[in-house]
Amino acid sequence: MGIKVHARIFNKTFRPHLDDRSRYEIFYGGAGSGKSMFVAQRLVLRAMKEKGHKFLVVRKVAKTNRHSTFALIMGILRSWKVLGLFKVNKSDMEIGCLNGNQIIFTGLDDVEKLKSIAGITDIWVEEASEITQEDFQQLDLRLRGKTPWPLQITMTFNPVSALSWLKSFFFDVPKDNCIIHKSTYKDNRFLDDEYKKVIEDLKNQDHTYYQIYGLGEWGVLGNLVFHNYV
């Protein structure tokens, strides 16, 4: 498909990763950094321009995709005015591109659907801090579709706990064929001033929250109730 997308729609910090083909990609950091938007935009771009993709978009709980990853990608299709190039099954949260590529949304709680999906070439794990190391390893084993492109798992998350398996598995010991990218709200030129103020006000409200959601640094929340803000 002769699709042209100008580089300026992507935040500068993410542009070097438009063509990254590492087996494992880690995009982590603070709230409002635009990391999930970038991954979703790049997924749509690849779906349109490159044949041979079967994307699996995963969260811990399947239904949480509807108002997060599925809504995000649908919004991109509309804003780019390319919805006509796709066939959308809203009830099953599946999107097919006219060139044969597929985007399938599911959760680790929907075991039967996950088992039934063959030929996966790309996986995006949103809110990866919600899944376990065993969940990740199962996904890694399912990444075995035939494609001219390198197989890839991309994970996006806020670094809510220094005790997370993500830190010990990917950060503490360097892993082959893995890139790690950190971003914060300061990297997102599309973020409005009101939201920036909300993040900056965390300095005076909760040091741990500001460390995680403002600075994108690993924190230890203990028994605090927290939310992920991507």
Burial class (CB in 10 A: 0-12, 13-18, 19+), 183: buried
pLDDT score recorded for residue 110: 87
Give the domain CATH number at 49: 3.40.50.300
- When pLDDT is cut at 50, 70 and 90, the band that residue 225 belongs to is very low
Query: What is the distance between the alpha carbons of residues 155 and 29, in angstroms, rounded to a whole number?
Result: 12
Which pTM does this prediction carry?
A: 0.93
Q: Is residue 2 part of a domain?
A: no
Q: Is residue 199 part of a domain?
A: yes
Q: Is residue 109 part of a domain?
A: yes
Q: Is residue 182 part of a domain?
A: yes
- When pLDDT is cut at 50, 70 and 90, the band that residue 223 belongs to is very low
pLDDT score recorded for residue 203: 95
Name the more confident of 174 and 100: 100
What percentage of the chain exceeds 90 in pLDDT?
Answer: 89
- When pLDDT is cut at 50, 70 and 90, the band that residue 182 belongs to is very high
Least confident residue range of 97-101, 166-170, 223-227: 223-227
Are 120 and 22 in contact by the 8 Å Cβ rule? The answer is no
pLDDT tens digits for range 47-57? 999 999 999 99
pLDDT tens digits for range 122-166? 999 999 999 999 999 999 999 999 999 999 999 999 999 999 999
The C-alpha angle 116, 122, 125, rounded to 5 degrees, equals 85
Provide the number of structural domains found in the chain: 1
Q: Is residue 229 part of a domain?
A: no
Q: Is residue 68 part of a domain?
A: yes
Residue 25: closest CA among 148, 147, 171, 181 = 181
pLDDT tens digits for range 25-36? 999 999 999 999
For residue 130, give its domain range.
18-214
Query: What is the distance between the alpha carbons of residues 152 and 39, in angstroms, rounded to a whole number?
Result: 12
User: In this model, does residue 208 exceed pLDDT 70?
Assistant: yes
Give the pLDDT mean for 181-202.
98
Burial class (CB in 10 A: 0-12, 13-18, 19+), 176: exposed
pLDDT tens digits for range 56-75? 999 999 999 999 999 999 99
